[in-house]
């Protein structure tokens, strides 16, 4: 039997590689009996979807190039 700690690692890896049949089975059995790990898996999947769909505005503060940086880049581009 795997612990919740081990299951959390396996759940994360399921987002990065194809689990073996045996691993998938182990995961399923554990999730069937464990509410917290089931939530954790759902939350990781939500995180994945949210990040993939996020636009650049959501992922950064409304950061802008400073006037100084802008001038520096403009100068450099002129010499290109």
Partner 1 sequence: MNAVNLDPNTWLDRYGDILFRYSMARVRDKTIAEDLVQDTLLAAISAVDTYQGASTEQTWLVGILRHKVLDYFRKSARERPVWNELAMESDSDFDGEGSWARPVTDWETPEKAAERDEFWHVLRGCLDTLPDNLRTVFALRELDGLETDQLMATLDISTKNNLWVMLSRARKRVQRCLQTKWFERR
Contacting positions for partner 1 (CB under 8 A) = 3-6, 8-9, 12-13, 15-17, 36-37, 39-40, 42-44, 46-48, 50-52, 54, 56-61, 63-65, 69-70, 72-74, 76-77, 80
Residues whose CB is less than 8 angstroms from the CB of residue 8 and which lie 6 or more positions away in sequence, other chains included = 37, 40
Cβ 24 to partner 1 shortest distance, Å = 16
Cβ 26 to partner 1 shortest distance, Å = 14
């Amino acid at each position: 039997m795997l612990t919740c700690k081990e299951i959390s690692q396996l759940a994360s890896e399921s987002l990065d590689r194809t689990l073996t049949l045996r691993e998938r089975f182990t995961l399923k059995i554990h999730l069937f009996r464990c509410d917290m790990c089931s939530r954790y898996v759902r939350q990781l999947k939500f995180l994945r979807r949210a990040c993939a769909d996020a636009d650049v505005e959501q992922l950064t503060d409304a950061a802008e190039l400073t006037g100084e940086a802008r001038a520096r880049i403009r100068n450099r581009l002129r010499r290109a």
